[in-house]
Each structure stands twice: as C-alpha cells, then as structure tokens.
Amino acid sequence: MNSRERVLTTLAHKEPDRIPFDLGGARSCGINVQAYKQLIDYLGINLEAKVNHESGFFAPQLAKVDEVVYKKLGVDVRPLFVSTPINWSLKIHEEEDCFWYIDEWHRKLKMPKKSYYYNRVTFPLQEQALDDYEWPDYSNQKIFKETINRAKKYSEKNVALVFPRPPGNGFLQMGARLYGYENWMMMLGTNPKEVERFLNRYLEFKINFWDALLENVGDNLDVACELDDLGTQRSQWISLDMYKKYIKPYQKKLFSFIKKKSNAKIFFHTDGSIKKFIPHLIEVGVDILNPLQYSAEGINPKEIKKEFGNDLVIWGGGLDTQKILPRGTKKEIYDEVERRINDLAPGGGFVFSAIHHIQPDVPPANIIHMIEALKTFGKY
C-alpha cells in the first residue's frame, strides 16, 4: 500500500498493511522547533530547523517539517496551509526580556526570551464592540495559490492530505480568546444574546473560509481538521447542557457544510477529559477524534475503542507526551506503544501519533524509540 491508501483504508475502519503514522501533519501532531532541531541533528540530516510561520503554528513555535524528514521517518500524511490573510502580516518586535507580535485577530502575544512559546496577553473584544471588530480577510484568491500548488504536488506522491488548522479556534475557545476567558465564561451564564451574536458571526466567518478553501482544493483533501478544547486534565471546560445549548448546534452546521462541499473526513481536536461529549461529536458529524489523551480523567483507550470504535477513528494517543515520551526508558516507550496499539488498532481506525505536539524537553532518541516501536508492533 502507498501512504494515501493506507490512511484511507484506516479511515474506512479497515486494517491496512500497517498502522499509518503522522508527525507534523494533522492538528496537534507537530513538533516544537527546538525538538525538531535536536532530532535532525541526531539523525545526521543537514537541514536548517525553521518555525512554521502559518497561523496557529507560530505561537507554539512548531517546526516546518521538511520532506526529507517525512520520508526518513515514514510519515504517511502531509499538511496543506493557507497564506496569511490580506489584512495582516507577521511582524516580530523585540524588547529587553521578550519578543511579541500582534496576530491576525488583533491579540498581543508575548514570548519571554527564556521560553519556547508565545502566550496571549490581550483580548480585543474586551475593549471594542463586536460590530466594530475587523475579522481576518481571506477573500483574495491569491491566498490559496500556494495551497493549490502544494495539493497538486502531494496528490502525485500518494500521501494523505490534511488541512490541519483553520483560522482561529473552535466556537468555545475562540470566544474565550477574543473576550478573555473570565469574561467569556461569565457571558455563557449571564449574557446568552451576546454569546449567540458572536457565535453566529464566527460561524459565518468559518463557513466563508471553508467555502473558499474547498472550492480550491476540495477534490484533493482527505481530512479537514477542526478543533475546540472541551476538556481539561480532570474535567470539562463547560457542562454538557451548556455544550448542547451553545456549541453543538454550530458545530453541526459547520461540519454539515464541509461535508456537502467535499468528501473529506472531519477531524476534530479536543484533548482532556471529554468522554461525555463523544456521542454528541459523532452526532454532529465528527469522523476522527484527536487525540485520545489517556492521561486525562475517565479516558480508557480500550473502553473507548470498544464503545465508539465503529463510528470514530482515533488519530493520536499512541504515546503519552507528558511523562513517557520525555522521560521514559526505551523499554517503557516500547511497552506503552505496544499497549496502545493493542487497545486501538484492531479492526483499523487508528492513526498513530503522540498525544500532542512533541515538546523541547523530549530527547531525540526517545522519538526514534517511539517510531521503532511502531514499526515493531504496528503491522497487521
């Protein structure tokens, strides 16, 4: 099988020749640029480690993975990106103790010089009315030129194509990231009219973006990624009732639109303790759940595979990124990878990746141990 056949077989809940592998492709399957530099040095690959400047990948300082590395590691997936909106460009400013920039959503993000990530420090809708807010502008077709070229190039290489990160975030998290977390959570309980005004505006923005993207690359796209963190390590961001009232209807409208415009499978990223949301995610059209954070409360991979495996593909959840990947021994890594493959791979429907982005504290040898373990245990 080639890589695309392997992934599509898996997405159809059938067993391919081996478990597909993703690193640097779909949402939350990336690698921090510092970890990437250490990895390519370890592999003896003479490349410059570069930050991916696409929206959503710059703040966590994710690497732009080179094709030679994809091939070396046997990665089955390639990402598509869209150029920045026509009313914004990235400008990095430097102060004595930090770097900062204003993103396309008019938020200020800062990164201390001794840190690895940018964090949001301002929230524009705290200061201005929704009616006066300037949204990122993706209306110019030139924005999609590189996306089209990349889609054509990779469609000839027989790899699976994903669009990993739409502008912004999900309906719940984007409200928090524009109004401020405290204000947004209060609004959900006390100001439903303003919440719904925002959600309708944001849905319109998202549909317009996906409409333009799919018009250009829909025939080549295998996986369309959306996201919204619903869970924390021990619980949920909001109650199930509040999710059903505010978030679920908008997800259903958006995912239905994407499916009408393309044959792409809906990939949904939400980590944390989210088991109670899973039946509802299936109802709104989610085909792929990313990841399966089994270190979170109530997430048992074997049980979730048994209960939801006929409806959902699990993409990610192959290895814990909090403890085992950064600090585990080779044996611990091998044992854990084997355990998760035994839990999630039978019958297909499992794409292997670590639970989340690979962080700077992960030794490159441990990344290689993870991949070697996948090769050892990942054949059907």
**Which structural domain, as residue segments, surrounds residue 195?**
3-87+124-377
Give me the helices (H) in the chain, please: 3-11, 33-43, 67-73, 145-155, 171-179, 181-190, 192-217, 240-242, 248-261, 278-283, 301-308, 324-327, 330-344, 364-377
Q: Would you state the pLDDT for residue 29? A: 96
| Number of independent structural domains in the chain | 1
Residue type, 1: M
On whether residue 303 sits in a domain, the answer given is: yes
Tell the residue number behind the tokens 């990160």, with chain if given. Answer: 165
How far separated are the first and last CA of the chain, in Å rounded? 12
Q: Would you state the pLDDT for residue 269? A: 97
On whether residue 337 sits in a domain, the answer given is: yes
Question: What are the beta bridge partners of residue 314?
Answer: 289, 350
pTM score:
0.97
Q: Would you state the pLDDT for residue 353? A: 98
Q: Would you state the pLDDT for residue 301? A: 96
Q: Would you state the pLDDT for residue 271? A: 92
Q: Which of 296, 292, 295 is nearest to 309 (CA)?
A: 292
Residue ranges of the chain with per-residue pLDDT less than 70: none
The DSSP code for 111 is E
On whether residue 287 sits in a domain, the answer given is: yes
Task: Say how far apart CA 29 and CA 357 lie, in whole Å.
Answer: 5
On whether residue 175 sits in a domain, the answer given is: yes
On whether residue 101 sits in a domain, the answer given is: no
CATH number at residue 355: 3.20.20.210
On whether residue 158 sits in a domain, the answer given is: yes
On whether residue 108 sits in a domain, the answer given is: no
User: Which pLDDT tens digit goes with each residue over 233-257?
Assistant: 999 999 999 999 999 999 999 999 9
CA dihedral over 56, 60, 64, 65, signed as positive or negative = negative
